[in-house]
Amino acid sequence: MASCDLIFTGARVIDGSGSESRFIDVAIDRDRITALGDCRHLQADTIIDASGLTLAPGFIDCHTHDDLAVFKSPDIPFKISQGVTTVIAGNCGISLAPVAAVKELPPPFPLLGEAAEFCFPSVKIYRNALEKAPAAVNLALLVGHSSLRLDCMAERLDQNADQNALQQMQANLRLALEQGCIGLSTGLDYPPAQAASTEEVVQLAGVLREFTSALYVTHMRDEGDHVTEAVEETLGIGSRAKVPVIISHHKCAGSRNYGRSRETLAMIDRARAEHQPVSFDVYPYTASSTSLLPQFIRDAEAVLVAESMPHPECNGKMLDQICNNWDCTAEEACNRLYPAAAIYFQMDEDDLERIMTHPAAMIGSDGIASMQTPHPRLWGTFPRVLGRYVREKKLFELETAVHKMTGLTASRFGLRNRGSIAVGSFADLVLFDPEVITDRASFENPAQISDGIVSVWVNGKLSWHDKTSTGIRNGVFLTH
Ligand SMILES: [Zn+2]
């Protein structure tokens, strides 16, 4: 009799492709799924009766800042507790590698770590370190445009790259891609990259074309009043560089712009109709979170200070209240609180739902693990989509939601044999109860384990069970 390590019986199986769930057995052996359907012909070391539960591919968090978190918290409970088995790091223009020693970190780099923690001058060194000390989840890395700028033109971040700097950045990007990165990310709305011209980005993105499946991922130049111009710039960069595009954490920020996702999604639909490969990620909240900067506060209805280095007594307080206490303007308060991170209440629920239900939308948390008081998306994103938006609001079917967390993401990011329950796929799996699944993380209490995630396997190993880490760290560095 042929054998395998583990067979699941009785589960409702969602394969990640978006197609309807089926009640079938799933067999895994070592790190792969080896059989589907009737598995009675197999001898298994363990049989799990998963009746009443749903088995899905482990979720892929396509928008993370976990570059350093995989070393500092290798059990990565805030992600694996949600059923996440793969994270894509290096988003928003900031990647931990490749950056040689830096003295000072301009915002938003401190979201990743402190200056001394930027100690990976090449992606090869980063990858070796992770392979020597694996985390509980798989990780794929984007090369940050702002990181390239920091490394090649730290003294001139307020300028467009000259020919020399551009060539050096192109060479560094090429090397990072050769060493296993899957694409380039930008954060054109942030100080280290605001001065970069569209042309600079096009020239860099052009390097991606030399690598199969490499893609361009962008935190756009504007997510507020000029969001449509920013979408236009993004689509232009993709079509001129001839590379696939992903818009990060798509939103229309500021009450003046509520409803404008109709315009942005129409632009994206037009591009897709002309066969331009473009998609986007989104998190299921109407508040965003990043560095506390004066430029970001004007669009927000309310600002919660998540963390201030010089004024920790202000952590968890509203900016308005701090301004009152200090009798100063919001701008002055920002300067006194800096370095600081904040949560900005500045989005519309209808936009969020419109964006999330679009067929090109993938789920990404954008969680920031370094914060003392993180945005609840760090712990709650995936269960929140499955609980609040699938079960309660019936925004889409469970199969569709899982597709946006697995199969769609794996295909857009070029992660082979991930995000699917199919023979030959890696055994990244999550077993959950769709009747119970709920996020518990709140703005007041963000570090909360969600309900309803029963067990999580990463490359065939049980890594999370019964709301506890098993201590197994079986994640790998993913390449194209
Ligand atoms: Zn971003």
What pLDDT digit, counting tens, does each position of 218-228 carry? 999 999 999 99
Length of the chain measured in residues: 480
Q: How many CB atoms lie within 10 A of CB 178?
A: 12
Please check whether the two domains, 3-57+423-469 and 59-296+341-411, share a CATH topology.
no
Mean pLDDT estimate for the chain: 96
CA of 9 to the centre of ligand 1 (A): 41
CA of 150 to the centre of ligand 1 (A): 17
Helix then strand count (H, E) for the chain reads 15, 22
As its CATH architecture, domain 59-296+341-411 has Alpha-Beta Barrel (3.20)
Question: With contact defined as beta carbons under 8 Å apart, do 430 and 363 qualify?
Answer: no
Q: Which residues surround ligand 1, an ion (CB under 5 A)?
A: 92, 219
DSSP string, 68-97: THHHHSTT-HHHHTTTEEEEEES-TT--SS
CA of 105 to the centre of ligand 1 (A): 17
CA of 476 to the centre of ligand 1 (A): 24
Strand partners, 3: 43
- Separation of alpha carbons 340 and 363, rounded Å: 26
Range list of β-strands (E), 250-392: 278-282, 287-291, 302-308, 340-345, 361-363
pLDDT of residue 245: 98
**What sign does the CA torsion over 250, 256, 259, 264 have?**
negative
Going from the C-alpha of 288 to that of each of 216, 227, 380, the distances in angstroms are 22, 15, 14
Strand-by-strand arrangement of the 84-89 sheet: 59-61, 84-89, 138-144, 183-187, 215-219, 245-247, 278-282, 361-363
The residue whose two tokens read 């009799």 is 1
Domain ranges in the chain are: 3-57+423-469, 59-296+341-411, 297-340
Residue 449's Cα: distance from chain center in Å?
18
CA of 184 to the centre of ligand 1 (A): 13
CA of 147 to the centre of ligand 1 (A): 14
* Helix, strand, coil percentages for the chain (3-state, nearest 5): 30, 25, 45
Question: What are 228-246's pLDDT values in tens digits?
Answer: 999 999 999 999 999 999 9
pLDDT of residue 221: 98
Q: Does domain 3-57+423-469 have CATH number 3.10.20.90?
A: no
pLDDT of residue 177: 98
CA of 12 to the centre of ligand 1 (A): 35
Question: What are 295-306's pLDDT values in tens digits?
Answer: 889 889 999 999
Which of helix, strand or coil describes residue 406?
coil
CA of 274 to the centre of ligand 1 (A): 27
10-residue mean pLDDT profile of the chain (480 residues): values are 94 98 98 95 96 98 98 98 98 97 91 94 98 98 98 95 97 98 98 97 98 97 97 98 98 96 98 98 96 90 93 94 96 94 95 98 96 93 98 98 98 98 98 98 94 98 98 98
